[in-house]
Copies of this chain bind each other. A is one copy, B any other.
């Protein structure tokens, strides 16, 4: 039974029902829907539309349905077009005709917008907690491995020596931006559309500010038309998840490369790898590969929904129903994945020996140029002279430190006999002690700052 059949003669085509019904996915809004209805019943009572008795009846009925939802007992049937219809149908079964008063001045347009916002306001604190957990795993791991030296890369080529902890902490800051962005989005979700009716507002004297407050929102929406058609917050959540997922994809890519036999820097715990059905030796970083691959999925969901919104005429349009599956898929992915990433970081085994052995002399070429700078050579010229040394070493097939003083002097007399002191990874690292650098103290300062932020976030 639909909520709207009065002026219809023909039956809904079965394919149409299947195409348009949303009950298969919007049922996860059931608890929010009931909560919204309770607050709305109270508002109708305050507005003089419902008697105290009617209110009590509706609230009791809705509480019963809330219990059914919590226990999984609520049955939604083939006849239920969407979650709102299902709840209204069930309420009618429980309290009779009074149920028909609950929709007074309310439309599914303002109702679903409210439900979706309520739902998200429940999800976001959990997301924030999960993100914080991942950040904590990153910080703890970084704090534990402050002595581990490895090659830093740009262009996947060895660039300069770096602490493993410095590398890891680079992800803390990406996640910190993600956490920030989430706060921003949350602020825009925190607006209550209820009381906007179908499009033009409500004709009943609903106190919308109180209604909003009762549902935990900071404020009611300012324009009824905008209130029912606005899905910016869904688009924002999707874009938020897509960028977070991009971050995870780069973490995954880096670890996949590092877990290759050739790099051998890390090993995933068995719990995070899988084998091959054919090749008995395989330990594949499947989890990481999915983490990388799912970035495509989440980018597609965000772009797809923006495209759905593009060019819609003013007013609620049914196209907006496409918001839910995208949103739920995106958030489910992130909610499964973020704690998993935390576990994975925590259990990651690092082969410090392989990392150390991987460091080539080329990593210290910048230090060699800096050495010349200290001897008064302008940097651009130092850079060129060290480049020449690199070329010479390659031609001879030896590392930079194996070129003799004479060879260096032949390139330029400004190379002194003390140049060999630069071939020391720890010295290079220690030199990068300005804020944000890879020197141990700078990394410790980073970790302290990170912990300060995490605990501030926990307190807020």
Asked if B308 and A295 sit within 8 Å, CB to CB, the answer is yes
Residues of chain B within 8 A of A88, CB atoms compared: 380
Q: Binary interface profile of A, 374-409, with partner B (CB < 8 Å = 1, else 0)?
A: 000011111111111111001000001000000000
* A109 to B155 alpha-carbon distance, docked (Å): 11
Residues of chain B within 8 A of A262, CB atoms compared: 260, 262-263, 358
Asked if A225 and B167 sit within 8 Å, CB to CB, the answer is yes
Residues of chain B within 8 A of A243, CB atoms compared: 232, 235-236, 239, 306
* A265 to B284 alpha-carbon distance, docked (Å): 22
Residue from B203, B230, B306, B388 in contact with A431 in the complex, judged by beta carbons closer than 8 Å: B203
Residues of chain B within 8 A of A172, CB atoms compared: 223
One of A26-34, A64-72, A173-181 at the interface = A173-181
Expressed in whole angstroms, the minimum distance between the Cβ of A427 and any Cβ of chain B is 10
Q: Binary interface profile of A, 143-166, with partner B (CB < 8 Å = 1, else 0)?
A: 000000001111111111110001
Expressed in whole angstroms, the minimum distance between the Cβ of A263 and any Cβ of chain B is 5
Among A84-139, those with CB < 8 Å from B are: 84, 88, 97-109
Among A1-37, those with CB < 8 Å from B are: 2-13, 15-16, 18-20
- Identity of the chain B residue whose Cβ is nearest the Cβ of A162 in the assembled complex: B200
Residues of chain B within 8 A of A303, CB atoms compared: 299-300, 302-304, 307
Residues of chain B within 8 A of A325, CB atoms compared: 297
Would you mind naming 17 contact pairs between A and B with Cβ atoms under 8 Å apart?
A7-B282, A8-B270, A9-B391, A19-B290, A81-B274, A103-B277, A152-B225, A154-B316, A166-B200, A169-B226, A173-B230, A174-B232, A200-B438, A201-B442, A207-B434, A222-B436, A262-B358
Asked if A275 and B387 sit within 8 Å, CB to CB, the answer is yes
Asked if B317 and A13 sit within 8 Å, CB to CB, the answer is no
Asked if B296 and A366 sit within 8 Å, CB to CB, the answer is no
Q: Is A352 an interface residue (CB 8 A)?
A: no
Asked if B304 and A318 sit within 8 Å, CB to CB, the answer is no
Among A175-227, those with CB < 8 Å from B are: 177, 180-181, 184, 187-188, 195-209, 220-227
Expressed in whole angstroms, the minimum distance between the Cβ of A362 and any Cβ of chain B is 4
Q: Is A328 an interface residue (CB 8 A)?
A: no
Residues of chain B within 8 A of A260, CB atoms compared: 153, 156-158, 257, 262-263
Residue from B154, B198, B388 in contact with A315 in the complex, judged by beta carbons closer than 8 Å: B154
Among A312-367, those with CB < 8 Å from B are: 312-322, 325-326, 336-337, 339-340, 343, 358, 360, 362-363, 365-367
* A256 to B257 alpha-carbon distance, docked (Å): 11
Asked if B299 and A301 sit within 8 Å, CB to CB, the answer is no
Q: Is A286 an interface residue (CB 8 A)?
A: yes
Known: A223-B446, A224-B432. Contact between A12 and B294, CB under 8 A? Answer: no
* A154 to B275 alpha-carbon distance, docked (Å): 11
Expressed in whole angstroms, the minimum distance between the Cβ of A398 and any Cβ of chain B is 13
Known: A223-B169, A278-B107, A303-B299. Contact between A309 and B156, CB under 8 A? Answer: no
Expressed in whole angstroms, the minimum distance between the Cβ of A299 and any Cβ of chain B is 5
Expressed in whole angstroms, the minimum distance between the Cβ of A203 and any Cβ of chain B is 4
Q: Is A77 an interface residue (CB 8 A)?
A: no
Q: Is A281 an interface residue (CB 8 A)?
A: yes
Residues of chain B within 8 A of A429, CB atoms compared: 200
Residues of chain B within 8 A of A284, CB atoms compared: 154-155, 157, 318
Residues of chain B within 8 A of A140, CB atoms compared: none
Expressed in whole angstroms, the minimum distance between the Cβ of A129 and any Cβ of chain B is 16
